[in-house]
Each structure stands twice: as C-alpha cells, then as structure tokens.
Amino acid sequence: MRAVHIEKPGGPEVLKLIDRPVPEPGPGEVLLKVAAAGVNRPDVLQRKGVYPPPPGASDLPGLEVAGVIEKLGPGAVGQVGAHAMALIAGGGYAEYAVVHHRHLLTLPEEMPFERAAALPETLYTVWTNVFEDGRLKEGETLFVHGATSGIGTMALSMAKAFGATVYGTAGSDEKCRAAERLGFVKCFNYRNEDWAKLMTAEGGADVVLDMVGGDYVAKDMTLLKPQGRHVSIAFQAGMEAKIPIPILMQKRLTLTGSTLRARHIEEKARLTDQIRQHVMPKIVSGEIAAVFDRAFPLEEAVEAHRRMEAGEHIGKIVLLT
C-alpha cells in the first residue's frame, strides 16, 4: 500500500510517499480501506519530532480516517463493505489502516468520505473536553480560541446544536469575519483587540476551550463567569501559566484539561459509545458538520502540512487516497 512516512524530524518536506505492506488486523481489530484521512495539528508536531506516537501505535501520522471495512480480525464485530470512520492512534496517512472494532462509527453511504474523515478527531476532542469535562449545557456560553481551526469550527457546530452560544478569537480580521459568518456571535482578533475585556463586556463565558496556554490562561479566568470551567487542550504559547488564585477562589472556577491520543482502548470505546448515542444522530440530520477547508491527494501531504502551518485554512484539511 502507499503511505506517507516521516523520514526524519523536520519541516513538511520530510513527509515521503513510500510503499508498506498492508497491515493485518489482530484480535478485535478491523482493516479499513482508507478513502480519506484528516490532517491535524498533532500530525505536524509528530513530524517535527515533539509528539511521538504512543507505544504500540503505527509510526505513520494520521489520527482520523474514513473508508470501507475490508476485513475483520479474530473476534471483531462489523460488516465487510460497510462505510465507517474512526479515531486512531496513528497510521491514517495510508491506503489501509487498522482500527479497533469498538472505535468504529458507521456512516450512511451517502456521506462523502472526505467530509467524514474531517470529523473524528474534532468530535472526540470537543465531546470529551467541552461537554464531559467542561459540562457545557443548553443556554450557556462557550468561548473558543482558534475559532476557525478544525476544533474551533466543530466546537461551534456542536455547541449550537446543543443550545449554547459561542464566541471566539482568531488571528486576523478576515478570519474573524469568516468565524462570524459561520455562526460565532462575535470573534475577536487576538493580535489587536483586548479579547478578555471585550468578552467580559459581553457578559463572560461559562466554558473556555483553550488551545493556546501560557499567559492566556490567566486572561481566560478573568472572562469566566462564577463557577466557570476552563479546559486546556494544547499549549501553543507555552506549557506554564501563572494562576491568579484569588480569581480562582472568588469565582469558584474549575481548571481542567486532557489529552486523547494515548487513552486506553476501553476509554476510547466509551467515548465512541457516547458519540454514537448523542452526536451521530445530529450528524446524520445535518445539525452538526465539520467545516471543510480543502482536500489534497495523499502524495501532496507536504502541501497539506504547509497550508496548515501557514494558518491559511478555515476548518479541516483532508488527504484523499
């Protein structure tokens, strides 16, 4: 099979198209013939050598796939020929990928694979962080950094589908206008606006989804309402933050965060069940959808990574096999 391999840590040019044997599904696993794979920020970090795959995972990048079930391993439950998407720990940038059968989400046949491949990573990230850990409820307000990113646009779609209001930040006036066209009540340009002060003037937020970290954490705390929840999912501006403890105490805030890739098989299966029950019906009905930026053929993975790193995308970038 064709696959994209990271030759050595470095820039996009280290992504090389190679031939690999088709993997064999083990006990409880399914072989998926990949039609499309999502491109995510962790793929970029893995390529740079700062985010290695967890033990036992494929060394190939790619954390989400959509395609057709090709083969069942011993004890796996599934239907050969069915369309499905999945969150995986690695190996998505290839023509075939192995998936645990309990991590599969069956798709309606009319759903395009490139649209489906843009869903799993953001679905799981938003569900576990915003709705489970952040406890976002109908009628509340969500504040999202990176409004036009894949996660930002999915957070918008899911929050609105469950009855919440969404504000956010982005790095240009053009991106903020795009975010507001998508449905953000307001988007603040973090390069030239005091977004924490402006959001506080809007009434504040019940939940902040923060992929920036660093000194953003303290600013986020100022705009949170009493009993607000702050959820960290990345630290692009720094791994350490100074916490204003008086604000934490006075507002009775909750600060939490999580990672997803290295979670145990059983935990990912539980999340899959939750998404199947609560989110998939809204995807099938069209209430929840990924914002699609652009598709590249597998052999142009270098260009896909360049687009992501340049910050040119609005929504998800996908590779087609």
274: three-class secondary structure by DSSP: helix
Residue 261 pLDDT exceeds 90:
no
Residue 311 pLDDT exceeds 90:
no
Strands 205-210 and 141-144: parallel
DSSP for 4-51 reads EEE-SSSSGGGEEEEE-PPPPP-TTEEEEEEEEEEE-HHHHHHHHTSS
Residue 52 pLDDT exceeds 90:
yes
What was the pLDDT predicted at 304?
Answer: 98
**Same structural domain, 161 and 309:** no
**Same structural domain, 116 and 68:** yes
Q: Which two tokens stand for residue 159?
A: 């929050």
**Same structural domain, 223 and 157:** yes
Domain boundary among 257, 281, 312: 257
What was the pLDDT predicted at 112?
Answer: 97
| H/E segment holding residue 271 | helix 265-278
Q: Which two tokens stand for residue 238?
A: 């720094």
Going by pLDDT thresholds of 50, 70 and 90, the confidence category of residue 273 is very high
Residue listed under structure tokens 């953001």: 122
The whole-number average pLDDT for the span 141-149 is 97
What was the pLDDT predicted at 202?
Answer: 98
Percent of the chain with pLDDT over 70: 100
**Same structural domain, 171 and 218:** yes
> What is the chain's mean pLDDT, rounded?
97
Going by pLDDT thresholds of 50, 70 and 90, the confidence category of residue 279 is very high
Closest CA to 203 of 225, 176, 170: 225
CA atoms within 13 A on the CB side of 164: 23
Going by pLDDT thresholds of 50, 70 and 90, the confidence category of residue 262 is confident
pLDDT tens across 180-192, in order? 999 999 999 999 9
DSSP for 254-307 reads EEEE---TT--HHHHHHHHHHHHHHTHHHHHTTSS-PPEEEEEEGGGHHHHHHH
Domain limits at 84?
Answer: 2-121+261-320
Rounded to 10°, the helix 301-310/41-48 angle is 110
Give the gyration radius of the chain's Cα atoms. Answer: 19
Q: Which two tokens stand for residue 91?
A: 């190996």
128 part of a folded domain:
no
**Same structural domain, 55 and 165:** no
State the Cα–Cα distance between residues 37 and 254, nearest whole angstrom. 35
Q: Which two tokens stand for residue 135?
A: 């406890």
Q: Which two tokens stand for residue 290?
A: 């990924």
77: three-class secondary structure by DSSP: coil
The residues pairing with 80 across neighbouring beta strands, listed in sequence order, are none
Domain boundary among 241, 257, 273: 257
What was the pLDDT predicted at 250?
Answer: 98
Closest CA to 126 of 156, 105, 92, 99: 156
**Same structural domain, 24 and 99:** yes
What was the pLDDT predicted at 95?
Answer: 99
Going by pLDDT thresholds of 50, 70 and 90, the confidence category of residue 247 is very high
Task: Count the Cβ atoms, other than its own, within 10 Å of residue 97.
Answer: 29
**Same structural domain, 251 and 268:** no
The whole-number average pLDDT for the span 138-155 is 97
Residues in the chain: 321
Domain boundary among 257, 281, 297: 257
Task: Count the Cβ atoms, other than its own, within 10 Å of residue 247.
Answer: 13
State the Cα–Cα distance between residues 270 and 103, nearest whole angstrom. 9
Residue 312 pLDDT exceeds 90:
no
What was the pLDDT predicted at 267?
Answer: 95
pLDDT tens across 68-126, in order? 999 999 999 999 999 999 999 999 999 999 999 999 999 999 999 999 999 999 999 99
**Total-model pTM:** 0.93
**Same structural domain, 249 and 310:** no
Q: Count up the domains in the chain and report the number.
A: 2
32 part of a folded domain:
yes
129 part of a folded domain:
no
